[in-house]
A = this chain, B = another copy of it.
């Protein structure tokens, strides 16, 4: 997963003069391809995407795309790599000594922001899940599983200290992920029901407040003050 661009081509020749300029152009082309591919895979899925469409969006001839990425699958793996890094970046700490209201609130807000700012990544991830996680299964079974184990212990600790209700922690995470990601993945449904061409910033804020209220009160934690985040944590009295 760490370097999916293993096509073995295009490495700088030993006797090159302008290697740096070429390296720049190389990275820029690759970046444009990945950005185009993200949009195409999110909209059409792996099978629906075509390398021709990716090339068109990237503003390159199709053969150029295959020069940088040997196969369509290699492009997809590179995009997934990015997606997982983004997914993980939305994972707030949730430390045992944190105040549950503050920490859970910050986590849910981070996930909501992630859906708002990176809907394409969210949709690609969702498509992977629907297909049975053929590519990201290893990630789910290692990194994500161990994250859930660790954080579940933290939540059980909070419940034992009476800071929140005893809620099955993995199930709570499934709920949080489902609710926050629906604003990216099911955008078409939400827009259709609300009779709007797209979700506005205000819709997003309403959604965030509703989600925070229902999820936090639903597991028995009092809400933190709306505006502040992880920087001004309050330690829980032990």
User: Complex: how many Å from CA A179 to CA B178?
Assistant: 5
Q: A168-B206, A192-B137, A195-B141 are in contact. Are A45 and B43 (CB under 8 A)?
A: no
Q: A171-B207, A193-B145 are in contact. Are A186 and B129 (CB under 8 A)?
A: yes
**Chain A 84-110: CB-based contact to B (< 8 A → 1; otherwise 0):** 000000000000000000000000000
A148 at the interface (CB under 8 A from B): yes
**Chain A 131-167: CB-based contact to B (< 8 A → 1; otherwise 0):** 1110001001100110010000000000000000101
Selected contact of A207 from candidates B123, B174, B207, B220, CB within 8 Å: B174
A: residues with CB less than 8 A from B are 42-48, 123, 126-133, 137, 140-141, 144-145, 148, 165, 167-168, 170-175, 177-179, 181-183, 185-190, 192-195, 206-207, 210-211, 213-220
Please list the 6 inter-chain residue pairs (A to B) with the smallest Cβ-Cβ separation, ordered nearest first.
A218-B218, A214-B218, A178-B182, A140-B192, A47-B48, A171-B210
User: Complex: how many Å from CA A223 to CA B170?
Assistant: 22
12 further interface pairs, Cβ-Cβ under 8 Å (given A45-B127, A126-B185): A44-B131, A45-B131, A127-B130, A130-B188, A140-B189, A145-B193, A167-B214, A172-B210, A174-B182, A174-B207, A175-B210, A217-B218
Once the chains bind, are B145 and A195 in contact (CB under 8 Å)? yes
Contacts of A207 in B (CB 8 A): 171, 174
Selected contact of A186 from candidates B141, B174, B192, CB within 8 Å: B174
